[in-house]
Amino acid sequence: MEAREFFHTVAERAGLSREEAADLTRATLSSLADRLSEGETRHLAGLLPPSLNELPAGRAETFGFDEFVRRVSEHTGLTVRETTDGVRAVFTTVHDEIGDEQFEHVTAQLPREFQPAS
């Protein structure tokens, strides 16, 4: 999947414009890199489309889903509800892109509250 298609999918799932979805996707992936270890961030980057794989070095910070949403919301200017729905749409789209096994591997460092709803 190319980045353009990725953004379109996130936009549809979250009810956002493509521009909002692109900004939200980048902010979500950047915040995810803050939450994952450096090695896991590199692993994830290798699984993403080329224009989405330039992630900051993983920092392995410990924070929950509410703080994650706050950080993304602060970056995007979206409401907490829009951001929450958008973050879940990004996670679901990443899951679709990389498959079950890789997604479980990447998200193993995250609490259950980060998992997309089934």
For the record, the structure tokens of 14 come out as 């979250």
pLDDT value of residue 116: 63
Q: Is residue 57 part of a domain?
A: no
CA contacts within 13 A on the Cβ side of 4: 0
Instruction: Provide the CATH number for the domain around residue 70.
Output: 1.10.490.110
Residue spans of the chain under pLDDT 50: none
pTM as predicted = 0.92
Structural domain count of the chain:
1
Q: Is residue 58 part of a domain?
A: no
Residue 8: give the domain boundaries.
3-52+64-114
Q: Is residue 71 part of a domain?
A: yes
